[in-house]
Amino acid sequence: MELPVVQKFADKVDLLKTTVAEKSPDIQVTSARRDFGSFHSSNVQELLGAIKTGNYVPPSLPFDLPQFSYRNGNTPSFGQEMRKKHFLLEETTFINHGAFGGTLKDALDVAQKWQVYIERQPLRFYDRELLPHLVFVTKRLAEFVGCSPTDLVLVPNVTMAMNCVVRSQDLKQGDTAFMLNVTYGAVKKLLKQVCEERGATLQEESLEFPLLGPSQIITKVKESLQPGTKLAVFDHIPSNASFVNPLPEIIDICHQRGTKVLIDGAHALGVMDLKLSSLGADYYTSNCHKWFCSPKGCAFLYVKPELQNCLHPLVISHGFGYGFNSEYIWTGLKDYSAFLALHTVLDFWESVGLQQIRGYIKDLVSQAVDLLVNRWKTGLLAPKEMFGSMACVQLPKCLLKDGCANYEQAEIIQNVLYSQYNIEVPVKALGGKLYVRISIHIYNELKQYQKLADAVEEMTL
Ligand SMILES: Cc1ncc(COP(=O)(O)O)c(C=O)c1O
């Protein structure tokens, strides 16, 4: 009897498998798809595992990437020249990088090249090439932030990562989650909502401003965190108050009390020297699209190996059930070009040099802060040494209408600075005072902060 076509084909596949198994006993051929990878490309966990064991061959890129030749002592000029050469920013007093970042021109070009390349043969890209490319770029980013590539996944933004972690917690009635009053607004809402849903308690502790030093925060955590608290959430650099939290000490206290620690590092990548494996946080997330200047829609989530099994993405897709990296790497058909452009962002930072970048930012923060404090005869929200690439400088008291600082007044001043002086800087009401939160990146220069000093002086007349 004639065999059905499907059966004949299945026999052929079996024959092929036998031949491969005889010729190459190392290659495991299974009858089904090889766990999670695409039909035509390798399993994601295996690819990442190969990186660990040193057997890794990166996929070749479909086009040449921009070359940065700053390595050979050929240091670029920071400030205006850097802005014109590597950013798309207009010539305004843009001192609010902390809000939405600002993308490197070359990285955006590369992301757009990927988009065009993908559409020339979508099947080739999505089915055969995408996963190995994502693994490749994950490997490079993991190296940069000091952890194993198997402990890090790419996500679109910190908000998504925070949701994944908080929603995956085993929080129930009688449990407590802990945060400080400087926690990012959206994250406060997330914690409140999840605690309410599960009948858990959310403990919020307040820091008093101005801060006297890191020990004030350490003492606050030491005195208020109860043993057995399920989860504590801290910003590496809080958005409003913009000081750098003393993470090693805080994490230590939490672990001594049996509390897992989730760090929101939205503002940290690029500004802080991250060594995630040794930092000891249970979960750490940061944006690439903020201070690292990648195209928008790019962030990462690090999770300690022993906690990876209990964590699942918000979006369940094909990789579900095949391991931490597989579960996150594909969240459905979408534009992955921001992730792929990370090669160029990493090339840029490595070429210019982290020491040079951080050195320029640190010096300029110090000069800008001194200038504003001296001109306005005010003070800072925290000691100068506690700031990274953002700082909160108090505005002159006479700008306050009835002596009380609130959100409405902050908004009015911010709008006047923008509409009348073309200065983009946020104004914050904290601890009964008004502050400007200045951002400093490699394209900024001192004269922009002089302009801010002048404008505020004029407003006080
Ligand atoms: C401290 C902090 N956490 C989280 C976020 C959210 O980042 P994203 O909108 O990229 O998810 C921000 C954004 O500014 C932030 O400042």
Sign of CA dihedral 161, 167, 171, 175: positive
- Position in ligand 1 atom list of the atom nearest CA 160: 11
Whole-angstrom distance, CA of residue 359 vs CA of residue 390: 14
Q: What is the pLDDT of residue 26?
A: 41
Taking the centre of ligand 1 as the mean of its atom positions, its distance from the CA of residue 239, in whole angstroms, is: 8
- Per-domain boundaries in the chain: 354-460
Q: Looking at 8-58, which runs of residues are DSSP E strands?
A: none
pLDDT digits (tens, 9 = 90+) for 6-30: 455 445 544 444 443 444 444 444 4
Whole-angstrom distance, CA of residue 32 vs CA of residue 287: 37
pLDDT over 90 percentage in the chain: 81
Best residue among 162, 166, 179, 184 to mutate for probing ligand 1's pocket (most ligand atoms within 8 Å of CB) is 184
Taking the centre of ligand 1 as the mean of its atom positions, its distance from the CA of residue 447, in whole angstroms, is: 28
- Single-letter residue type at 14: D
Whole-angstrom distance, CA of residue 161 vs CA of residue 156: 8
pLDDT digits (tens, 9 = 90+) for 323-370: 999 999 999 999 999 999 999 999 999 999 999 999 999 999 999 999
Ligand 1, atom 16: closest residue by C-alpha: 239
Q: What is the pLDDT of residue 38?
A: 66
* DSSP secondary structure of 86-99: HB---SSEE--HHH
Q: Looking at 265-389, which runs of residues are DSSP E strands?
A: 283-287, 299-303
Q: What is the pLDDT of residue 55?
A: 77
CATH fold, domain 354-460, is Aspartate Aminotransferase, domain 1 (3.90.1150)
Q: What is the pLDDT of residue 34?
A: 59
Per-residue three-class SS string for 129-162: HHHHHHHHHHHHHHHHHCCCHHHEEEECCHHHHH
Q: What angle do CA 85, 89, 93 make, to 5 degrees?
A: 115
234 lines ligand 1 (CB under 6 A): no
CA distances from 313 to 145, 156, 169 (A): 21, 12, 12
Joined tokens for residue 111: 């992301």
Segments of the chain scoring below 70 in pLDDT: 1-35, 38-41, 52, 71-73
Q: What is the pLDDT of residue 404?
A: 80
Q: What is the pLDDT of residue 47?
A: 84
157 lines ligand 1 (CB under 6 A): yes
Q: What is the pLDDT of residue 30?
A: 40
Joined tokens for residue 38: 């695409």
- Position in ligand 1 atom list of the atom nearest CA 264: 3
DSSP code at position 311: -
Q: What is the pLDDT of residue 22?
A: 46
pTM greater than the 0.95 cutoff: no
pLDDT digits (tens, 9 = 90+) for 401-434: 777 888 999 999 999 999 999 999 999 999 899 9
